Protein backbone atom coordinates (compact mmCIF):
# COMPACT_ATOMS: atom_id res chain seq x y z
CA UNK A 1 0.00 0.00 0.00
CA UNK A 2 1.21 3.51 -0.80
CA UNK A 3 0.10 6.21 1.66
CA UNK A 4 1.22 9.02 -0.67
CA UNK A 5 -1.85 11.27 -0.80
CA UNK A 6 -3.78 14.08 0.88
CA UNK A 7 -5.79 13.55 4.08
CA UNK A 8 -7.93 15.68 6.41
CA UNK A 9 -8.67 15.39 10.13
CA UNK A 10 -8.21 17.18 13.46
CA UNK A 11 -8.56 20.63 11.80
CA UNK A 12 -5.54 19.81 9.63
CA UNK A 13 -4.70 19.06 6.02
CA UNK A 14 -2.08 16.27 5.86
CA UNK A 15 0.22 15.58 2.93
CA UNK A 16 1.85 12.13 3.05
CA UNK A 17 4.74 10.88 0.92
CA UNK A 18 5.80 7.24 1.17
CA UNK A 19 9.01 5.75 -0.25
CA UNK A 20 9.32 2.08 0.61
CA UNK A 21 8.63 1.79 4.35
CA UNK A 22 9.58 5.44 5.03
CA UNK A 23 6.79 8.00 5.42
CA UNK A 24 7.11 11.78 5.52
CA UNK A 25 4.19 14.09 6.20
CA UNK A 26 3.28 17.69 6.79
CA UNK A 27 0.16 18.77 8.66
CA UNK A 28 -1.12 22.30 8.14
CA UNK A 29 -3.74 24.00 10.28
CA UNK A 30 -7.01 24.27 8.37
CA UNK A 31 -9.67 26.49 9.94
CA UNK A 32 -12.53 28.25 8.08
CA UNK A 33 -11.36 31.72 9.20
CA UNK A 34 -7.71 31.05 8.37
CA UNK A 35 -6.02 33.08 5.62
CA UNK A 36 -4.28 30.02 4.16
CA UNK A 37 -3.70 26.44 5.39
CA UNK A 38 -0.72 26.35 7.71
CA UNK A 39 -0.78 30.03 8.68
CA UNK A 40 -1.62 29.18 12.31
CA UNK A 41 0.75 26.21 12.61
CA UNK A 42 2.54 23.54 10.61
CA UNK A 43 3.85 20.17 11.77
CA UNK A 44 6.25 17.80 10.01
CA UNK A 45 6.53 14.05 10.59
CA UNK A 46 8.99 11.33 9.59
CA UNK A 47 8.47 7.64 10.35
CA UNK A 48 8.58 4.04 9.20
CA UNK A 49 5.83 1.49 8.56
CA UNK A 50 6.04 -1.59 10.79
CA UNK A 51 4.87 -5.10 9.97
CA UNK A 52 1.86 -4.38 12.25
CA UNK A 53 0.66 -1.63 9.83
CA UNK A 54 1.51 1.12 12.30
CA UNK A 55 3.62 4.06 11.18
CA UNK A 56 5.87 5.13 14.07
CA UNK A 57 7.90 8.28 13.96
CA UNK A 58 8.68 11.74 15.24
CA UNK A 59 6.91 15.08 14.69
CA UNK A 60 7.88 18.70 15.30
CA UNK A 61 6.29 22.12 14.83
CA UNK A 62 7.72 24.22 12.04
CA UNK A 63 5.30 27.11 12.60
CA UNK A 64 4.25 27.02 16.26
CA UNK A 65 0.74 27.97 17.38
CA UNK A 66 0.18 31.41 18.86
CA UNK A 67 -0.08 31.21 22.62
CA UNK A 68 2.40 28.29 22.59
CA UNK A 69 2.49 26.74 26.06
CA UNK A 70 4.63 24.12 27.77
CA UNK A 71 1.76 21.60 27.48
CA UNK A 72 2.77 21.31 23.83
CA UNK A 73 6.48 20.63 23.78
CA UNK A 74 6.73 21.30 20.07
CA UNK A 75 8.07 17.86 19.17
CA UNK A 76 7.49 14.22 20.04
CA UNK A 77 6.44 10.79 18.81
CA UNK A 78 3.40 9.70 16.84
CA UNK A 79 1.81 6.41 15.78
CA UNK A 80 -0.59 6.15 12.84
CA UNK A 81 -2.44 2.94 11.97
CA UNK A 82 -3.90 2.00 8.60
CA UNK A 83 -5.99 -1.02 7.50
CA UNK A 84 -4.01 -4.13 6.66
CA UNK A 85 -4.36 -5.75 3.26
CA UNK A 86 -6.33 -2.97 1.56
CA UNK A 87 -4.96 -1.74 -1.77
CA UNK A 88 -5.88 1.83 -0.82
CA UNK A 89 -6.61 3.17 2.66
CA UNK A 90 -9.56 5.53 3.05
CA UNK A 91 -8.87 6.27 6.72
CA UNK A 92 -5.81 6.57 8.92
CA UNK A 93 -5.99 6.86 12.70
CA UNK A 94 -3.58 8.47 15.14
CA UNK A 95 -3.29 5.85 17.90
CA UNK A 96 -0.60 7.08 20.23
CA UNK A 97 2.49 9.10 20.87
CA UNK A 98 3.27 12.24 22.83
CA UNK A 99 0.68 14.37 21.04
CA UNK A 100 -2.23 13.04 23.08
CA UNK A 101 -4.48 15.95 22.04
CA UNK A 102 -4.84 14.30 18.63
CA UNK A 103 -4.90 10.67 19.78
CA UNK A 104 -7.69 8.70 18.06
CA UNK A 105 -8.17 11.35 15.38
CA UNK A 106 -9.43 9.86 12.11
CA UNK A 107 -7.78 11.11 8.93
CA UNK A 108 -10.07 10.90 5.91
CA UNK A 109 -8.71 10.40 2.39
CA UNK A 110 -9.05 13.47 0.15
CA UNK A 111 -7.19 12.30 -2.94
CA UNK A 112 -3.77 12.36 -4.56
CA UNK A 113 -1.13 14.94 -3.68
CA UNK A 114 -1.52 18.24 -5.51
CA UNK A 115 0.67 18.54 -8.60
CA UNK A 116 4.09 20.19 -8.24
CA UNK A 117 4.73 23.29 -10.29
Mean pLDDT of all residues in 53-70: 75
Burial class (CB in 10 A: 0-12, 13-18, 19+), 91: middle
| CB crowding 30-57: b at 16 or more within 10 Å, else e | beeeeeebbebbbbebebebeeeebbbb
pLDDT at residue 109 tops 90: no
Mean pLDDT of all residues in 13-32: 92
Q: Is the whole-model pTM more than 0.85?
A: no
> Could you please report the per-residue DSSP string of 7-66?
EEETTEEEEEEEETTEEEEEEEE--TT-SSTTSS-EEEEEEEE-TTSEEEEEEEEEEPPT
pLDDT at residue 6 tops 60: yes
Amino acid sequence: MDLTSTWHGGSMVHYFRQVGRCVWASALSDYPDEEAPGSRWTVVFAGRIGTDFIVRGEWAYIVQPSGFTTSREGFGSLQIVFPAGEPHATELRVVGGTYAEFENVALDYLGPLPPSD
